[in-house]
Every structure is written in structure tokens, then in C-alpha cells.
Amino acid sequence: MINLKLSFILICVTSVVMGQKIDKSKLDNTISNYYKDQRAPGVACEISQNGQTLYRYAIGQADLKEGRAITADTHFRMASVSKQVTAQAIYTLVIQKRLKLDDRLSHFFEDLPVALRSITIEQLLQHTSGIWDYEELIPNDRKDQVSDRDVLNYVKQTDRLYFPSGSQFRYSNTGYCLLSLIVEQAAKQSFASFVKRHLFEPTGIAGGMVYEPTSTIVDRAYGYHPAAGDYRFADQSVTSATQGDGGVYFSADEYHKWANFLIKDRLQQATMQQLLSQKAIPVKDEISYHLGWFISKSAENMTLFHSGESTGFHNVVYIDMQKGLVISLFSNRDDFMIGEAFDAILKTVGIRNPVVRGPQQTTFAWLNAVYAN
């Protein structure tokens, strides 16, 4: 009974901090308005504050063939939500003084075209390198999945940039694939091993991982694509095996452990705050970017958000720094239902869409447009 009373007190305190009580029934109804069928691929939603879970919701199937339901422990491919992990791997090596943000690509890779040699680590993190999208360089007849090393080999064939490095923003998966290879060079171990040892294990993340071909993912969600009133298995594509730009798998519970580590540790560090506040690159609509995050700033607060899009998976995450609030929505279906659903969740909790600049544009749609360059 004492524990129940304590839990009630904590929830009430959280409600005051947020200025909006979490109404579980209302949130359940909000999500079920979009995801109604327990037999279809679905979503896992979670909300936490200051490390305390306030809300969990899951509906749908992680695996249609096995009939295995989605839970808070189901592992989803994060797609571009992975970029914040890659950025923190780089930042860890900066803390360890094994890297500097102004180190150039020529320091790590041999035989680079002249145009690529002076690109810096920070420009890759900011998406200001001007480097070519590797997706444009993959031969049409390629069947094997592309690795981060393949990405390097592809861009070595292009002695040109979209624009002079550092001059403007252009979202780049290529840049984050190269960052994973830089981690390997500096750390003298695989990117997946470095992330596990230096980021995931210290934060209590046991099942989350950077995917490798030999990996076994416990309680894995498989991806699906809506087709003719049904769902087609669509878990992998030629570009689904790269690591630095999208290879992390998290469960909802594990992501919130990760986000709490960021809020309580990394995002409190003066250097990190300086990078996000002063070195972030303007994107549009008063939103900037650095270290795997889109950033919305005011005089009093900073909110961070990102989505992930991959064959079979769509995800969105949101952090309010002042409130210590984290909201995540992971989906193993690659329709755009998630856009309206996520913004409806924000509205139900009492949070303004961070990118509202006009009617009919969801956070997810805004991000999708940025990725499309």
C-alpha cells in the first residue's frame, strides 16, 4: 500500500512538472483511432519523464507469420533515429581525446578524391559536408546489401560535391556511414562492439544493438508494407544493412533508458550544450541540426526530435530538455499513419507540434521533406 501511495505521489508531481496530467484512457483512445487492428503490424508508444515511465501502449503484431504481439520489449529497426547513437559514439571518442571534431576525412581514409579530403567530422555530424548520397551511386542491378564500407567505396568514385563543404545543410546518410567507419578506425574495434561496450552496456541496455549480419535480435519486429488492403513482408532492402545511418535496434523500454542517459549525462555537459546551441546548422522554419538531432530552441528550453524511415519501419522520437520528457512511437509498418498519430499524441499530452508552420503538415511529413532534400 505504501508503494502504491508513493507511485501516486510521483505521478502527481510529474503532472505538475509537465503542466498536463497523463490521461491513460485518453491516450489509449487517441492511438487506437489510428491503429485499430491487433492482427496487423502496429506500434509501441512510450512516454517517460526524468527516467520514470508514465505511459506504455502497444498494439499489433511484431511477426505476422508467428502471430507474435508487439510489446514494450519488442525490438524495432530505428532507421535514422540511429544517427543520435552514431553521433554519441563519435562524441565518446572526442571525450577520450582519440578524435577531434575538426579532423578531416583524409586523416582516416586513403585514396580519397581531392573534393572529399578536407571534409571534417563536424561537417558530417551537421550534414554540411556536401558529399553525395550513396543511394544515388548504387548500381541498379545490385542485389547484395550495401555495407558502410561499400558506401566509402562508392563515394571514392565521385570527385565532386553538391556544394562546398560547410556552406549549407543537406541531409546525408552517407555522412553517418562514414562516421561509423571513423569510429572503427579510432577505436580499433567494430562500430557495433564500440557502441555496445561504451554506450549501451553502461546504460543498462542489454538487448539493443547495432545490427550485424551475424546478429540475433531477441523479440524482433519484422517490417511490413501496406498493399491492397493487406500487409506485404518488407523487412529488408539493399540499403537496410548499413550501420551508421540507420542500423540500431531498440525496444521502446530500451530507447527510454538511452534517452534518459542523454538527458541526465551527455546533454548536461557544457561542450555538448555548446555544440547543440552554437554549432547547430539552420535547416528551415527556425529548426537546426547537429549530433543526430533536429533542434527547436527558445530562450528557456530546447526540444530535440528525429524520425526514422526504412522499408517496413517508421519511427519518431521527441525530447523536451526542460521537462526531462521523452516521447517515442515505433512502428513496423511503413505507411504514413504515424505522422498524424504522433502529432495527435503530442496534442493529447498538451505539447505543441515542434514544426507547425502551416496547416496539414505533421512533424513526420516535415522531416520526410527534409530527408528528400
**pLDDT mean across residues, the chain:** 93
Quote the pLDDT of residue 143. Answer: 95
Q: What is the average pLDDT across 80-93?
A: 98
Alpha-carbon Rg for the chain, nearest whole angstrom, is: 20
Quote the pLDDT of residue 25. Answer: 97
For residue 14, name the pLDDT band (cuts at 50, 70, 90).
Answer: very low
Quote the pLDDT of residue 361. Answer: 85
Global pTM reads 0.94
Full DSSP string of 132-194:
PPGGGTS-TT--SPPPHHHHHHHHTT----SS-TTSS----HHHHHHHHHHHHHHHTS-HHHH
For residue 358, name the pLDDT band (cuts at 50, 70, 90).
Answer: low
Report in angstroms the alpha-carbon separations of 354 from 130, 135, 260. 27, 29, 20
Q: What is the average pLDDT across 162-178?
A: 98
Q: pLDDT tens-digit profile of 313-343?
A: 999 999 999 999 999 999 999 999 999 999 9
Q: Which residues on adjacent β-strands are paired with residue 349?
A: none
The dotted CATH code for 18-371 is: 3.40.710.10
Q: What is the average pLDDT across 271-282?
A: 96
For residue 7, name the pLDDT band (cuts at 50, 70, 90).
Answer: very low
Phi–psi pair at 151, nearest 5 degrees: -60, -45
Q: pLDDT tens-digit profile of 24-68?
A: 999 999 999 999 999 999 999 999 999 999 999 999 999 999 999
Quote the pLDDT of residue 229. Answer: 86
For residue 299, name the pLDDT band (cuts at 50, 70, 90).
Answer: confident
Residue 130 has pLDDT above 70, yes or no: yes
Quote the pLDDT of residue 300. Answer: 82
- Dmax (CA) for the chain in angstroms is 69
Q: pLDDT tens-digit profile of 211-243?
A: 998 899 999 999 999 998 899 999 999 999 999
Task: Give the C-alpha separation, 48 to 367, whole Å.
Answer: 23
Q: pLDDT tens-digit profile of 191-209?
A: 999 999 999 999 999 999 9
Q: What is the average pLDDT across 259-277?
A: 96
165 touches 118 (CB < 8 A): yes
